[in-house]
Amino acid sequence: MRNTTNIFKEIADKISIKIKEGSYSSEQKLPSEYDLAKEYSVSRLTIRKAIDLLINQNILVKQKGKGTYIMKQTDKFQSGKNGLLSFSESAEVYGKKSNARLIKFEKLTSVPEEVQENLQLIGESVFHVKRLRLFDQDPMTIEEVFIKESLLDEPTLKKNLTGSIFKLIEEKSDISYSHQEIEAILATEELGHYLTVEQGQPLLLVHTTTYSANGQPILFDKSYYRADKYTFKNILHRN
């Protein structure tokens, strides 16, 4: 039997697919709630919930007194579009399979100053995991993750060096939010080799500190993203 509590999610998925297929074009006004309810044979309340979900996903935007519009989309993968997600979760959203190839794993007792500041360390060692991340077999980013030694034990981490580190951490602590700083850089020979781009091509370097709900820093990472594949989406709404 169909779960009525999830009908609005099904409708949201159908509307999203129509947008991707071009049935509803970018910057077009969405049909009225009445017309959509008739089209999908559901109540207007269900349509309203589906629209609210798509607004939260930055697919639609509502303008008071004028209706609901489709936001301009991009072909690039958009980090932040669906909130704070791990690389593996982002791949799933886009219908891709995430892969990781380990480049380096080490325990640091001499911790770089930037890492100490972001993780608020006082004489504590950290684990440093450097990996190439891929969507299917397409290189997307090189991530360098720094994790407090007190958060994960070394044997557990070593067994999961190509898996989801977010998932490992959430077995020990909640993950609530992150702060990011983004800068443009040029690919070095090493970065170009792993990301299959020419040396000197533009990349995005993202510094991210991730926190628990009580404001404690959990992990810090520096990730190098292909600028031709990735964009960072932060929608600013005018009040």
pLDDT digits (tens, 9 = 90+) for 85-94: 655 666 566 5
User: Is 228's pLDDT higher than 90?
Assistant: no
Tokens coding 151: 């958060």
Same domain? 187 vs 87: yes
**Residue 59 placed within a domain:** yes
User: Is 191's pLDDT higher than 50?
Assistant: yes
**Residue span of the structural domain in which 65 resides:** 4-70
Same domain? 47 vs 132: no
Sheet holding 177-186, edge to edge: 98-108, 126-135, 138-148, 217-226, 202-211, 177-186
**Residue 82 placed within a domain:** yes
Q: Cα 37 to the chain's mean position, in Å?
A: 32
Same domain? 92 vs 209: yes
Task: Look at residue 19 in the predicted model and tell me its pLDDT.
Answer: 80
pLDDT band at 236 (very low <50, low <70, confident <90, very high): very low
Same domain? 89 vs 129: yes
Q: What is the pTM of this model?
A: 0.62
Last residue of a domain, one of 70, 100, 124: 70
